[in-house]
Amino acid sequence: MGTFGTAVRSARQRAGLSQGELAARLGVSQGTISFWERDIELPTLDHLLKLLVQFPELLDAVRTHNHEMLIQLRRIERIVFNGQCACRDCNCAAHSEMRAP
């Protein structure tokens, strides 16, 4: 089983699109597509929705790789909320193991 980035690359290639062509359709740079495909970055939720419109088959990859996306979202949450999660008076056990870089 490949990574989410591998799934994006495969879907793009099956559609016969270059990274630049997909980037233009999604309103991002070619470098962003490259980062997604190499698993350097994950798409934002807005971009993920746009990807799913282009490539509905990616939904299976999202389901498979949702854990890594959840980790990224929790890291972002910790950064935005100064080391805490967004829960009011949080004592979430699920969040305690996640640390912002």
Give the pLDDT confidence of 75-89 residue by residue, as tens digits.
777 777 776 666 666
Within 8 A by CB and 6+ apart from 44, the residues are none
For residue 9, which phi and psi values (nearest 5 degrees)? -60, -45
Tokens standing for 1?
């089983």
Q: Give the model's pLDDT for residue 26.
A: 95
Name the pTM for this structure. 0.64
**Residue 90: CB atoms within 10 Å:** 12
Domains in the chain (CATH in brackets) are: 4-64 (1.10.260.40), 66-96 (no CATH)
Residue 4 contacts residue 39 (beta carbons within 8 Å): yes
> Out of 2-6, 36-40, 66-70, which region has the weakest mean confidence (pLDDT)?
66-70
Measured in whole angstroms, the distance separating CA 74 from the mean position of its chain's CA atoms is: 12
* Of 17, 12, 54, nearest in space to 37 by CA: 12
Mean pLDDT score of the chain: 80
Residue 51, pLDDT above cutoff 70: yes
Q: Give the model's pLDDT for residue 62.
A: 78
**If you search the block for the tokens 């798409």, which residue do you land on?**
43
